[in-house]
Structure 1
Amino acid sequence: MNEQLPKTMKAAVMPKPGTIVMEERPVPQVGENEVLIKVMAVGICGSDVHYYENGRIGRFVVEKPIILGHECAGMIAAVGAAVSRFNVGDRVAIEPGVTCGRCSACKEGRYNLCPDVQFLATPPVDGAFVQYMTIREDMVFPIPDHLTYEEAALNEPFSVGIHAAKRCRVQPGTTVAIMGMGPVGLMAVAAAKSFGASRIIVTDLEQVRLEAARRMGATHVINVREEDAIERIQQLTGGVGVDTAWETAGNPKALQTALHSLRRGGKLVIVGLPAQDEIPLNVPFIADNEVDIYGVFRYANTYPMGIEFLASGTIDTMSLITDRYPLAQTQEALERAIHNKSGSLKVMVYPNE
């Protein structure tokens, strides 16, 4: 099986922040519990952009050359000796965080909190802007023939929304406000809709993103350049507030808006990571209204459900893909994601085209 494989492959490497260079690297050898994947589509995520611009996110610092990219899907090109679930040629979505499986977090099923997770494109682990990559077989999931590689790659940001919905127990009939319509926010709208939220109110500064949110299932959109989000949400809910509010942009003002849009007994869900560690929140409001606060870190046990939702055809994910680049233009793709906020939604890189 492995003989037809090339010996070397192209990789888009970041030697230092702000620079991507193309390198020839050996095609990785597949371990006995691993699969080798021919990478077909990689979405650019906010974290890729952060590392490219700043070289760090919180405690994760780029100290040596790294390959970015973690929203990915592809085709199995080789299987290890002990692999039982996959064959060469299978189309798969890749869950990018390989966990230890032995710690208390993994045992509890909250493996996103595993302290030893090896997460693609999180220093020092290389990511998916490569033609081939290996990963343990339990981190890949089959996708149906009609699901595109791009949609399968979007299962990664979609999983964040699914995890958020599960954490705060979105039920059919729930009213949800989501602040920030970047790619994670847009997929969060799709997740809230998939879980049966009856009203989904969203905010953003960019009209193109609000229009995309409508396609994803938002029932009301608020351009915060033009109107006060809290006032508008109060109007839309008859002065009551929403059941749950998600902040997905990492914006301090949006987090405060999310809090104050809640009904009494509502739930605040923090998805976005702000640049600063501390943000003032109205503690008497939180206590007086018995607000529940949920932190969301990546996701756990979401990939099969996400693939099912995406394969159902009810979510128009392909309309989110606004820009497409070959691997050789990874730097241009990252620059596009940074500088075209008013036009680009999801930028996609194709390592094998």
Structure 2
Amino acid sequence: MHKATMPVSLPSPSIMTSSTDGSTLHVSEENRVFVLRRKGEFHYETRPTPELPTSRHVLVRIMATGICGSDIHYWKHGEVGPFVVREPLVLGHESAGIIIRCGTDVKTVQVGDRVALEPGVPCRTCGFCRVGKYNLCDEMRFAATPPIDGTLATYYTVPEDFCFILPPHISIEEGALVEPLSIAVHCTKLASITIGQTVVVMGAGPIGLLCCAVAKAFGASTVVATDIVDSRLEFAQTYAATHTYKMQQLAPEQNAKTIMSRCDIPAGADVIIDATGVESCISSGIFAMKKGGTFIQAGLGNSNIIFPVGELCAKEGVYKTSFRYGPGDYELAIELLKSRKISLKELITHSFEFDCAEQAFVGAGRQEGIKSIIYGPRK
């Protein structure tokens, strides 16, 4: 893996000036945004700097944004599942920045704080929100999900309780990756991993790697990463996996038997996390799961998947699905970083200036490296 195809330097917050009451830093009238005009076509625009929607919102200057698989899918295909790009859309939702303006009723953060942004804001009043499942809210406004614009911009507004202050030793680039880390936290919490358990993670992309890291932080003694790409497996071995396995063009049962044999889990794994959405990987995972085990579906592929439900039933296994993140997931992700139980800096293999954002998408679309960061526009 190599670091940073485009040399960059972050603009320093010291160039911004504080207002007399300390509630805002200097805000430019220029709000540059990177827009997907239609499938396969990007362009830049200058839009008005957004106003704070409520007195509990803050204005954040975006400093770094990670490219997600969904961003690539919107660019290449113009849609992700039921979400279709019908109007120009600002992409990006894995972001961190600096608070430069606070609403009058903001109490938990302040101007100058470096924060990771949780990019999905629910209605807060529906049944799902009230029982702590706001990730299922029908009125969710999620950044870069049509028609809601994302964070590849100079400025972005967010409620104060969806901002999370970064520990001092965490860089702004790593702060952008708190979003995918929170997805991994959500997946792994659903599995209720305890000390000494065995975990197999299908797929060594960013989410799979982070699931490995969180599982290990939660106490798993054996963490197996599988993939078809040698470089990703090599990275997984140095990052968080105790074992790796390169998936072969074999029947799922045979791949499962080989995983169990080579990784010294003869009875199968306590937990399987699929971060691929690939039918053969899902089937292999079910065969590699021990009796009474738990299977977490994190990856999304084809809408209709055939998998060995008879094998799942015979093992009385638990099959759970995972969608984004919910209450407490960002806080736990931040705590894992604060306690240094997880590191994110190793995942960042490429970084780009804002003016080179399209180049970043091209590279990410070719699966170059692991995670690409786009810096916010310079002043």
Equivalent residue in structure 1 for 2:105, among 82, 87, 92: 82
User: Which residue does 2:314 correspond to in 1?
Assistant: 288
Q: 1:225 to 1:107 in 2, by over 3 A?
A: same
* CA displacement 1:63-112 (0-9 Å, x = unmatched): 10000110111100101122111211011111111011111111111111
Q: CA RMSD in A?
A: 1.5
Give the whole-Å Cα distance in 1 for the aligned partners of 2:107 and 2:343.
33
What's the CA shift string for 1:201-221, capped at 9, x where partnerless?
110111221122123310000
Of residues 267, 271, 277 in structure 1, which corresponds to 2:303? 277
Which residue number corresponds to residue 210 of structure 1?
Answer: 233
2:320 paired with 1:297: no
Q: Does 1:178 align with 2:188?
A: no
Q: Residues 33-63 of structure 1: CA distance to partner in whole angstroms, max 9, x if unpaired?
A: 2100011110001111111111111111111
Distance 1:27 1:270 in 2: 39
Which secondary structure state, in structure 2, belongs to the residue aligned with residue 141 of structure 1? strand
CA 1:177–1:3: 2 relative to 1, 3 Å: closer
Query: 1:127-174, CA deviations, whole angstroms, 9 ceiling, x for partnerless residues?
Result: 010011111111111112211111111111111111111111011111
Is the aligned partner of 1:137 residue 2:160? yes
Identical-pair percentage: 36
Structure 1 residue 3: Cα displacement: 7.0
* 1:9 aligned residue: 31
1:74-153 equivalence runs, <5 A: 74-153=97-176
Pair 1:160-2:183 in alignment: yes
**Alignment deviations for residues 254-300 of structure 1 (CA, whole Å, 9 cap, x no partner):** 111111110111111100011x2211111221111101000000011
Where 1:4 maps in the other structure, the secondary structure is coil
Q: Distance in 1 between matches of 2:45 and 2:181?
A: 31
Indicate if the aligned counterparts of 1:179 and 1:202 stay in contact, CA closer than 8 A. yes
| Deviation, structure 1 residue 337 | 0.5
Aligned pair 1:266/2:293, yes or no? yes
Aligned with 2:209: secondary structure? Answer: helix
Q: What TM-score do the two structures reach when normalised by structure 1?
A: 0.96
Please say which of residues 36-45 and 147-156 is displaced more in the overlay: 147-156
* C-alpha separation in 2, matches of 1:141 and 1:38: 14
Candidates 250, 257, 260, aligned match of 1:231: 257
Look up the SS of the partner of 1:309 in the other structure.
Answer: helix
Contact 1:222 1:229 (8 Å CA) reproduced:
no
The amino acid of 2:377's aligned partner reads N
Q: Secondary structure at the residue paired with 2:90?
A: coil
| 2:344 aligned partner | 317
Q: 2:49 aligns with which of 8, 14, 27?
A: 27
Q: Distance in 1 between matches of 2:138 and 2:271?
A: 29
Q: Distance in 2 between matches of 1:256 and 1:115?
A: 31
Q: Name the amino acid aligned to 1:129.
A: L
1:161 touches 1:184 (CA, 8 Å); kept in 2? yes
SS in 2 for 1:147: coil
Structure 1, gaps ≥5 residues long: none
Q: Deviations over 1:309-353 (max 9, x none)?
A: 1122333321111111111111111110011x2x41001000134
Give TM-score scaled by structure 2 length.
Answer: 0.89
Partners of 1:19 and 1:331 within 8 A in 2? no
Shift of 1:239: 2.5
CA contact (8 A) 2:350 2:373 kept: yes
Does the CA-based 8 Å contact 1:39-1:130 persist in structure 2? Answer: yes
Q: What does residue range 56-71 of structure 1 map to in structure 2 within 5 Å?
A: 56-71=79-94
CA contact (8 A) 1:43 1:346 kept: yes
Residue number in structure 2 paired with 1:345: 370
Deviation at 1:199, TM superposition (A): 0.4
Structure 2: state its 5+ residue gaps: 1-18
**CA 1:35–1:312 in 2, change beyond 3 Å: closer, same or farther?**
same
In 2, distance between residues paired with 1:226 and 1:58? 28
Is 1:245 the equivalent of 2:268?
A: no
Provide the C-alpha distance between the structure 2 equivalents of 1:3 and 1:77, rounded to a whole number of angstroms: 5
1:8, 1:43 → 2: CA distance?
Answer: 22
Instruction: Judge conservation of contact 1:203–1:229 (CA < 8 Å) in 2.
Output: no
Deviations 1:188-237 (A, max 9, x none): 11111111111001101112211221233100001124886312222134
Is the CA contact (8 Å cut-off) linking 1:216 and 1:315 kept in structure 2?
Answer: no
